[in-house]
Amino acid sequence: MNRAVAADRETTAREAGTAQAASAPGPRAAAPPRGGPEPHPPHTPGMRSARLGAWAELLRLPALFTVPGDALAGAAAAGARPGPRTLLAIGSSLCLYEAGMALNDWADRAEDAAERPHRPLPSGRIRPAAALTAAGALTGAGLALAAGAGRPALAVAAPLAATVWAYDLALKHTPAGPAAMAAARGLDLLLGAAATGGGTRAALPSAALLGSHTLAVTAVSRRETTGGSVLAPLAALATTGALTGLVARRRTRLPAGRRAAAAPGLPGSTPAPTATDALAAALGAAYAATAARPYFHAVLNPSPPLTQRAVGGGIRATIPLQAALAARSGARATSLLVAALAPAGRRFAKRAAMRKVSIT
């Protein structure tokens, strides 16, 4: 009884308030027609910013700064000066890299729902179908840009795209996963060589060095959510030391008539160090400093946070390694250009919109 009386009073009060509001002066919004669709909520700037932030997180935009150096190091290894076709190769690399990022989260959406529920797909900020569509569109754009750089570039970009899709959809959680990722990074360097110089043979040593680094980082990343592995960061630490010594060595291309004179033990077989050699050594040291410290911490304590930090350090170390490879090939200006991507990437990652975006 008391509840019925209270309900009648509340109904009367609401009707009175509605009547007063209706009689109040001022503009009134038109009521939607009965049976018609409900009006859609307006797209506020905050909603648009949240959607852009979700896509930036899905695509890991700060990691994009590690991509252009592949093509530039490949061009340097081929002995060619970067040109318009190199820019097309860089554009192709960026598209295929981002296609892999979107496809990665689409393929891992069930795993991320349990281990990384904050990611854009399991949190519902981006629909899985949208991520898969983006991966397909970016792959097509990457192949189209490679075709614009010439047939040799497309001949490298096609297996690169196939490797990216095979890794994300089938190979990631198999023993072949790290090797597939290393192959993708090496092919990306060869893409720059093919687009700029028309061939890839001269760039194979640089591609092998860059692929070795990627192999080590990927092996560490396989335990970034669980931790507990000492062998992977220890192997990555050893790989970093070996690569630092190799990139500091001069890579010379002598004319055919001078190869005999440059044989070991003969006069003139050891050229005097140059400024480019010093630059390669300095960039090699920067590479070691960026990668070795987080690897060492992960060896001492292979917890998930320190393992994730080791993966991030390995990804960031890609830029000084690319720059050192370019300097090792004698391309001083190209190496400095690649090295400048590291501070640019750090500044970009510190922007307010990017602070919550991880590169791993």
The pTM of this model reads: 0.82
User: How many angstroms separate the CA atoms of 321 and 335, rounded?
Assistant: 10
Would 328 be classed as within a structural domain?
A: yes
What average pLDDT is seen over the chain?
85
- How many other CB atoms sit within 10 Å of the CB of residue 121? 23
- Rounded-to-integer distance, Cα 118 and Cα 116, Å: 5
Q: What is the mean pLDDT of residues 310-322?
A: 96
Per-residue b/e over 245-263, b at no fewer than 16 CB within 10 Å?
ebbbebbeeeeeeeeeeee
pLDDT at 228: 83
The domain that contains 74 carries what CATH number? 1.10.357.140
Residue 17 lies in a domain: no
Position 141 in a domain: yes
**How big is the chain by its Cα radius of gyration, in Å?**
27
Q: What is the mean pLDDT of residues 99-127?
A: 94
Confidence at residue 198, expressed as pLDDT on a 0 to 100 scale: 86
The residue among 92, 213, 210 whose CA lies nearest residue 161 is 92
Q: Is residue 269 part of a domain?
A: no
Highest average pLDDT, of 58-62, 191-195, 343-347, comes from: 191-195
Q: Which residues contact 157 (CB under 8 A, 6 or more apart)?
A: 92, 96, 142, 143, 146, 147, 191
What percentage of the chain carries pLDDT values higher than 90?
Answer: 69
Q: How many domains does the chain have?
A: 1
Sequence-distant (6+) residues with CB within 8 A of 263 are 269
Q: Which domain holds residue 288?
A: 53-251+274-354
| Residue 257 reports pLDDT greater than 50 | no
| Residue 111 belongs to a domain | yes
More confident position, 46 or 267: 46
Q: What is the pLDDT of residues 185-223, one digit of tens each?
A: 999 999 999 999 989 999 999 999 999 999 999 999 998
- Nearest 5 degrees, angle CA 52-CA 58-CA 63? 100
Q: How far apart are CA 72 and CA 32, in angstroms?
A: 59
Residue 147 is assigned to a structural domain of this protein: yes
Is residue 196 assigned to a domain?
Answer: yes
Name which of 132-136, 166-170, 313-317, 352-356 the model is least confident about: 352-356
Rounded to whole angstroms, how far apart are CA atoms 157 and 86? 13
Is there a domain that residue 94 lies in? yes
Cβ neighbours for 270, distance < 8 A, ≥ 6 positions apart: none
- Which has more confidence, 43 or 93? 93
